[in-house]
Structure 1
């Protein structure tokens, strides 16, 4: 990547945490790397400063680290989740936050991980933040996370076509996602389609 990781953040810590998650869930590791790659593209297009890009990029790599605390049978379940199982899945941002906040060097990253499932309309979790109450990095992660998730095979469903994914993101502009960020993707859609088709599991 064309930026320097903030000196106060250990890149080695990130790699170790990602490796620990991949040991539990291989899908999640590949997913996080693809999300981070898309996020780098979008952050550059937004002309964010390098230090901010580095924080958001690392948060993207670690956004699902809380799934370490979710039982394997739930993560890999092929049938519909029960309410209790879904509640456990929804706890992963808070679990991730509780892991990362233990390091003073990862506090800014922990905050972005905590809020990456908030929605623009306030109907997300864990805190129901809305619009610009949600940290910018979390809003960026939310879009790229959803794009990769929709275009990936999951235990419980086949992947969406890229056109179906695109239509869903546009449909949720200003509802689930920050409308400015959705509009900012622009010509990156073409690049991401090619990238995901080449790297998806």
Structure 2
């Protein structure tokens, strides 16, 4: 079945997302591992991704662990460093699809405030034809409702959507709905997939 639209995850597809790297550089790998074992920073971030206030959630976690407050607040104060750098070839592929007239949608677990920070930093965030951001919708991957929301609002049949994401559980949820999928492990593989589907030529995907 031919693809009508391409759906991009954002973190680790269009930009890198690696909080651990920032903490490793700041406090060292051993201290970072201890911190992450003692404080559920990723769990806090999942609440942000579901629409809770970014500063409020980080601050509340810092208050709950006063002995680690300075380290916890790095998640807020240096967030853009964690969500970097851009993956340039992925952005080029998105733009090449748009130039061919292929609709491109974002389906991403992202907070309300953090998405705006990233959008100001990365112009590619403003180039989607439609955005499905978990923080705004208060629903997240891999739960079915956010996929259904994209289907309903775009009007594209599931079997005509091609979705790329770095997480296998998110890919599996889309596949279960009949979407075509590509597990993103790097932009080269995505380029090959887009060429194989006839969405881009090899030259356009370079």
Tell me if TM exceeds 0.5.
Answer: no
Relative contact order: is structure 1 or structure 2 higher (C-alpha 8 Å, sep ≥ 6)? 2
Larger radius of gyration: 2
Q: TM-score, normalized by length of structure 1?
A: 0.28
Relative to its length, the structure with more helix (as a share) is 1
